[in-house]
Amino acid sequence: MGEVKRGYVRPLDLKHGCVDLTHGSGGRSMVQLISELFAKHLGNEYLGQGNDGAVLPAPTFRGRPGRLVMSTDSHVVSPLFFPGGDIGCLSVHGTVNDVAVMGATPLYLSAGFILEEGFPLGDLARIVESMAAAAKEAGMPVVTGDTKVVERGKGDGVFITTTGVGVLPDGLELGGSRARPGDVILVSGSLGDHGVAIMSKRENLTFEATIESDTAALNGLIAAMLATGAGLRCLRDPTRGGLAATLNEIAGQSGVGMMLYEKAIPVKPVVAAACEFLGLDPLYVANEGKLVVICDAPDAELLLNAMRAHPLGRDACYIGDVIADDHHFVQMTTTFGGKRIVDWLAGDQLPRIC
Amino acid sequence: MKYIDEFRDGELARNLGASIAATVQPGRNYSFMEFCGGHTHAISRYGLSDLLPPTVRMVHGPGCPVCVLPIGRVDLAIRLALERGVILCTYGDTLRVPASDGLSLMKAKARGGDIRMVYSTIDALQIARDNPDCEVVFFAIGFETTTPPTAVAIQQADAEGLKNFSVLCCHVLTPSAISNILESPEVRQWGTVPLDGFIGPAHVSTVIGSRPYEFFAEEYRKPVVIAGFEPLDVMQAILMLVRQVNEGRAAVENEFARAVTRDGNLKAQDRVADVFELRREFEWRGLSVVPYSALRIRQRYAAFDAERRFNLDYRSVPDNKACECGAILRGVKRPQDCKIFGTVCTPENPIGSCMVSSEGACAAHYSYGRYKDMH
C-alpha cells in the first residue's frame, strides 16, 4: 500500500461515487480507495506497515506461549444492510465468534473484499465504518486485507471474507466431540432473531415491532464464562441452520443423542409470529450473537449465573440434556409431551403451501 | 403469541388425550384419515400420536399440494423455464418436487432457468410488471385454498392489460380426491384400508364451507369433522370422531367454527367461478387420472392460460417403480412400508413427492418420527 499525496487527486466521492473496475486494477484509484476508505477506518500499527503481509508478535496467553486458533468465514448476506446490523459488523462478529467459541482470546483479523462494479462508495464507507467499530469493540484489529472488483452482474454488491486468529491457553479443550451423556445444553438467549430480521427485510415485511438481528461479538461473554472455571465441553454459535444444525453436528461428532424441551427454548414472540407467517421453524433459523453451551450438569447453575450477568447472556437458559443414543438423534419433548426428532434441514427451509 | 398459543396448550392436549382414551370402546379399533398435509404436519411436529391410545390410528391422506402433483406437470413448468426462457414463479415447496431426468425446479434453476419463489400471486404480478420484455408464468398449484388468489391475479392482469403474464394452472379439488379414496377398492370392496372417518380440511373449508362434505357423510356413512391446523384442533376433532363412531352417527361436524361456515367464502367462490371451469380429467400422483378433479382457465381468460399460450401438451410420466407414494397417498401403505424409504429416498434426495414437503407423509415421518422405527 502506498500513500497518494493529497491535493493532487480528487478525494473519493463518497456521496455520488461508485466502485468501478479501476478500483481493483492495481493503479492509483485502488491505492486511493485503500487509503481513503479502508486504512482510514480500519488503520492500526499492523495494517499501517503497508507490506504484503503483517508481521505480528508471537501470541502469548498471560505471558506464556499459547496455541493458535484460526478460523475463516465468507459473508454473502443479502440485503447488505438490515435492522440491527450490516455485512460489515457481521463479517467481524462471525469470525470473532468462531475463534472465541474455541475458548481462544481473539487477536487479529484479515479482511478480503470482493466489490461489484457500480456499488456506491458511500455504502462501502458505511460498511467499513461498521466493521471498524465492531473490530474495535471485539479487540480484534484488521491487520491485513485485500480488495478485488468484479464486473457488474458478477457479484452481489459486496462479499467479505474475514479470517481471524486467537490464542488458546494450554489445558483448555473445547470441541464438538466432547459432549457426554449426562451433560446439559444451555443457550445464551432467544433464537432466530438474525435470520428473521434478514428474511423480513428481504420480503419487505413489517411488523409492529422491528425485529433486529442479534449480531454481536461473543468473546466478552465467553471470557466471563471461562472465568468461572466451570466444566465446559463445547461452545458453538448457532449460525446457518440454527440450533437444530448445531446440535445435530455436535451429536454426530460426540456420538451422543440429545433431548430438548420445547417449552424451555426461548423464542421472542415477534420472531415466533414472523416464523408462523413466513412458514419457518425458529429452530432452523440463523443466529449471529448467540451461544450454544454443552457443560457438566453440576456446573450449569454457575455458568447460567455468569452468563445472565453479561448483557449478551441476560436470557440464558437450560434447554436440554445430552443422552446416550446410538443413532445420534436430536429429539425434542414437545409442549404436548409428545416426542419428535429435530432433524438436519434438507436443503433450504422452504415455506409450506397450505 | 395470541390466538396461536391457546391452540398449542400442552396441558389441554393431555386432557384431550385422556378424554379420547376414556371414550374409545374396548376391543374396538378406530382408523381416521386426516385428509390435509397441514394436519399430517401438526400430528408429526407435535408428536400427537404419542398422546393417542394405541387403538386410534391416523391414516395420512392425499391433501398435500406438492405430493399429488404428477411428474408430467412439473416437467411442463421446467420446460417453460429452460426451453421457452420464461420467468417461472411458484410457491416454496414446489421447487423441490422431483421431475423427469433427475430434475426439479430447484435443479433447473441451477441450470440457468429463471425460477423464483414467491409468497403470493401479487409478487408474481409485480415481477411481470417489472419485466415487461419477459414472459412471466405463475405455476399455480394447490387445493381450494390457493385457487382464489390465482383467480384474483388473473382478473387483475386482465384489468391491467398485462400482456406478459400467464398461469400454468394445476389447481385440484378436495371433494373429488375424497370421493376417489372412498370409491377405491381398498376402502370399498376389500376393506384393506379401514376408514372410520375423516378429519376434514382446515383452510380449504374456509373457502368451500362444510356443505360439500355432507355428501360423504350421507352417501358413504363416514363421519367428517372439519378441524383447524393447530394441534389442539386435531385432538378435539379426533375426540369428536370417536364419539360419532361410538354413537353410530355419520355427520359433518365443524370443530373449526372460528373460521369455517357451512357456505364458505362466497366472494372467493364467485371469483373462482368467474376464472376457472372444471377439467374433464386430471392426473394426480397416487390417484392416477381422476375425472372432474381439477380446474382449468375459462376461454374468456385464455390469454392468461400458459397451456394455451405456449401450446403445451401434457405427457404423463410414471413414478419410479420402487416408489410407494401412490399407495401411501391412498392410505394403503405407511411410509416405513416403502422399501426405499430412508435409504434411497430421503429429504435430501426425494424420489417420490411425499418425501418433499414436510406436509408429505414420508417427509413428516422421516423428519419427526423415524426414531420410533429404530428403538
- Average pLDDT of chain A, as a whole number: 92
Q: Within the 213-272 window of chain B, which residues sit less than 8 Å (CB to CB) from chain A?
A: 229, 231
Q: Are residues A189 and A68 in the same domain?
A: no
Does residue A229 fall inside a structural domain? yes
Q: What is the pTM assigned to this prediction?
A: 0.87
Which of the residue ranges A272-281, A292-301, B200-209, B335-344 would you say has the lowest mean pLDDT? A272-281
Closest-CA residue of chain A to B4: A273
Q: Which residues contact B32 (CB under 8 A, 6 or more apart)?
A: B56, B57, B58, B59, B195, B196, B197, B198, B199, B238, B241
Q: Are residues A35 and A131 in the same domain?
A: yes
Supply the pLDDT for residue B36: 93
Q: Are residues A233 and A319 in the same domain?
A: yes
Supply the pLDDT for residue A8: 62
Question: Does position A348 have pLDDT exceeding 90, yes or no?
Answer: no
Number of domains in chain A: 2
Among A283, A284, A336, A345, most B C-beta atoms within 10 A, so best to mutate, is: A336
- In Å, how far are A92, A176, A226, A267, B292 from A168, measured between CA atoms? 19, 16, 12, 33, 70
Closest-CA residue of chain B to A343: B367
Supply the pLDDT for residue A254: 97
Residue range of the domain that includes A295: 184-341
| CATH number, residue A151 | 3.30.1330.10
Which residues of B are less than 8 Å from A350 in CB distance? 92-93, 95-96, 117
Per-residue model confidence as pLDDT tens digits over A312-337:
999 999 999 999 999 999 999 998 88
Say whether A296 sits in a helix, a strand or coil.
Answer: coil
Q: Within the 61-90 window of chain B, which residues sit less than 8 Å (CB to CB) from chain A?
A: 63-66
Q: Within an 8 Å CB–CB cutoff, is residue A15 touching chain B?
A: no
Q: Are residues A156 and A188 in the same domain?
A: no
- Split at pLDDT 50, 70, 90, the class of A4 is low
Point out the residue among A327, A331, A350 whose CB comes nearest to the CB of B96: A350
**Interface touch B63/A354, C-beta < 8 Å:** yes
Point out the residue among B231, B358, B371 whose CB comes nearest to the CB of A327: B371
Final residue of a domain: which of A138, A168, A198? A168
Q: Within an 8 Å CB–CB cutoff, is residue B370 touching chain A?
A: yes
| ipTM associated with this complex | 0.81
Question: Does position B359 have pLDDT exceeding 90, yes or no?
Answer: no
Supply the pLDDT for residue B118: 94
Contact B337, B366 (CB under 8 A): no
Backbone angles phi, psi at A320, to 5 degrees: 175, -175
Per-residue model confidence as pLDDT tens digits over B21-51:
999 999 999 999 999 999 999 999 898 989 9
| Calpha distance A245→A243 (Å, rounded) | 6
Q: Within the 4-43 window of chain B, which residues sit less than 8 Å (CB to CB) from chain A?
A: 4, 8-10, 13-14, 36-38, 41
**Interface touch B1/A269, C-beta < 8 Å:** yes
In the 8-state DSSP scheme, what is residue A80?
S
Per-residue model confidence as pLDDT tens digits over A90-113:
999 999 999 999 999 999 999 999
**Interface touch B142/A353, C-beta < 8 Å:** yes
Q: Which CATH number fits domain B71-173+264-309: 3.40.50.300, 1.10.472.50, 3.40.50.11740, 1.10.1040.10?
A: 3.40.50.11740
Question: Does position A134 have pLDDT exceeding 80, yes or no?
Answer: yes
Burial class, B101, CB count within 10 angstroms (exposed 0-12 / middle 13-18 / buried 19+): exposed
Question: Does position A292 have pLDDT exceeding 90, yes or no?
Answer: yes
Radius of gyration over alpha carbons of chain B, in Å?
21
| Calpha distance A327→B371 (Å, rounded) | 8
| CATH number, residue A221 | 3.90.650.10
Q: Within an 8 Å CB–CB cutoff, is residue A276 touching chain B?
A: yes
**Interface touch A354/B8, C-beta < 8 Å:** no
Q: Are residues A25 and A162 in the same domain?
A: yes
